[in-house]
């Protein structure tokens, strides 16, 4: 079992709940699927330069969705493991977004980036 299965499941869940009403939103959801697929294989992922900003926006969207819609339900249910995982995903998604956005700025959108996930929360 992958230590980040909960994370990739949350990425896929957010992508499945998002209406793909514009090309930008569709591209963001495709990036989430790509990130999840790569993490399932390697606990890390690579983002091409051309996809860096849209991927960063997608991760920020996941964090917002989880914080607004899912975290309150998990807390209310007193699901401690679920709460740890959701909080980890929110914090990690925002950290990845900041790293990706900074990288895009510093490289003038010319270089891709490999990102390695921090240690998952303890069970």
Q: pTM of the predicted model, to two decimals?
A: 0.95
HSE toward the beta carbon, residue 21, CA cutoff 13 A: 3
First to last CA, the chain: 14
What pLDDT does 100 receive? 98
Angle, CA 82 vertex, CA 26 and CA 38 arms, to 5°: 40
Domain boundaries, the chain: 5-114
Give the 3-state DSSP-derived string for 65-97, with helices as H, strands as E and coil as C.
HHHHHHHHHHHHCCCHHHHHHHHHHHHHHHHHH
pLDDT digits (tens, 9 = 90+) for 70-115: 999 999 999 999 999 999 999 999 999 999 999 999 999 999 999 9
pLDDT per position as a tens digit, 20-76: 999 999 999 999 999 999 999 999 999 999 999 999 999 999 999 999 999 999 999
pLDDT at 1: 55
């Amino acid at each position: 079992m992958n230590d980040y299965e909960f994370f990739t499941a949350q990425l896929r869940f957010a992508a499945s709940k998002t209406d793909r009403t514009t090309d930008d939103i569709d591209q963001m959801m495709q990036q989430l699927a790509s990130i999840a697929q790569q993490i399932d294989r390697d606990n890390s992922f690579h983002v091409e330069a051309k996809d860096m900003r849209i991927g960063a926006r997608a991760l920020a969207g996941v964090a917002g969705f989880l914080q607004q819609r899912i975290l309150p339900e998990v807390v209310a249910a007193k699901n401690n493991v679920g709460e740890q995982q959701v909080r980890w995903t929110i914090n990690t998604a925002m950290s990845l977004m900041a790293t990706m956005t900074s990288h895009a700025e510093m490289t003038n959108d010319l270089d891709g980036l490999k990102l390695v996930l921090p240690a998952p929360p303890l069970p």
